[in-house]
């Protein structure tokens, strides 16, 4: 039995390790300042605009999803009365987390790009990513806050604390590592999406000029579009984008884990 388990773990780790090695190797081979700063049409093609695009989208989606997700999670854990409405909200968030991102992308295309006339834009793409991120932040916040011991809440109430002060000064502080982990993982998910961005941002080699009606490039788009290029330079850029994404998502996960362990030692 133990041998089977070990074999299963090895079977998963080998392709993962192989993938990490290959893309790290190829990424390091090609990485240089011009590659990271230039646009794809320059003499030394680079993915500078796509890196910028990814971070713009990350910023917009985080600015929407984090406040809504954290406040929603706090509401669910501290203020909701546990009735049908609360259960319905929780169920809706879980369903939303399960909707394929390409479906969400298409819905955003219809609603934002077309109906509200945002056009292919950072705003439409950012909102679609925020919708994908929201349920993760919402649920991990609720769970992190629900884990705060009731004894701490009672201690605060017995000192004449109002619920707001108790949440701001104690509950949130205690739950913060768990909430941060949820946020970091949601950011990783946001950076890794492709399908919804194809529907809401399309793709461009240049940086966006406005929040609306301005297509933009992003790292996952580079992988999707450049990997099948006939020109080897662009295939190399796809490897570089892959390497960068793996490193960023890996870093986010490591920070989330280390942060959680460190803060859990309170």
- Interaction site with another protein (CB under 8 A): 149, 151-152, 154-162, 165, 169-170, 173-174, 266
Could you tell me the smallest distance in angstroms from the CB atom of residue 38 to another protein?
A: 49
Q: 143 or 170: whose CB is closer to another protein?
A: 170
Q: Three-state SS for 81?
A: coil
Written in H, E and C, the secondary structure of 175-219 is HHHHHHHHHHHHHHHHHHCCHHHHHHCCCCCCCCCCCCCCCCCCH
Q: Please give the helix or strand (H or E) that residue 239 lies within, else none.
A: helix 232-263
Q: 5 or 266: whose CB is closer to another protein?
A: 266
Q: 34 or 149: whose CB is closer to another protein?
A: 149
Could you tell me the smallest distance in angstroms from the CB atom of residue 149 to another protein?
A: 7
Tokens standing for 43?
Answer: 């003499």
Could you tell me the smallest distance in angstroms from the CB atom of residue 243 to another protein?
A: 40
Could you tell me the smallest distance in angstroms from the CB atom of residue 146 to another protein?
A: 16
CB 216 within 8 A of CB 208: yes
> What is the Cα–Cα distance from 158 to 152, expressed in whole angstroms?
10
Q: 175 or 187: whose CB is closer to another protein?
A: 175
């Amino acid at each position: 039995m133990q041998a089977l388990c070990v074999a299963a773990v090895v079977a998963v780790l080998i392709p993962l390790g192989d993938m990490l090695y290959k893309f790290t190797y190829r990424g390091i081979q090609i990485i240089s300042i011009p590659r990271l700063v230039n646009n794809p049409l320059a003499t030394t093609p680079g993915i500078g605009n796509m890196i910028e695009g990814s971070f713009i989208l990350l910023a917009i989606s985080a600015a929407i999803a984090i406040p809504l997700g954290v406040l929603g999670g706090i509401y669910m854990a501290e203020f909701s009365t546990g009735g049908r409405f609360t259960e319905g909200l929780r169920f809706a968030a879980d369903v939303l987390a399960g909707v394929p991102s390409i479906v969400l992308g298409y819905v955003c295309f219809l609603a934002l790009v077309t109906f509200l006339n945002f056009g292919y834009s950072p705003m439409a793409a950012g909102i679609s990513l925020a919708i994908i991120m929201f349920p993760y932040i919402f649920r991990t916040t609720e769970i992190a806050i629900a884990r705060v011991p009731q004894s701490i809440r009672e201690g605060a109430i017995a000192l004449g604390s109002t619920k707001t002060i108790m949440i701001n000064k104690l509950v949130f502080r205690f739950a913060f590592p768990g909430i941060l982990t949820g946020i970091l993982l949601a950011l990783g998910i946001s950076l890794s999406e492709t399908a919804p961005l194809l529907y809401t941002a399309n793709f461009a080699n240049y940086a966006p000029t406005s929040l609306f009606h301005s297509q933009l490039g992003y790292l996952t788009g580079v992988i999707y579009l450049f990997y099948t290029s006939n020109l080897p330079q662009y295939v190399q850029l796809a490897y570089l984008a892959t390497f960068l994404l793996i490193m960023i998502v890996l870093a986010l996960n490591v920070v989330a884990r280390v942060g959680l362990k460190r803060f859990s030692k309170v």
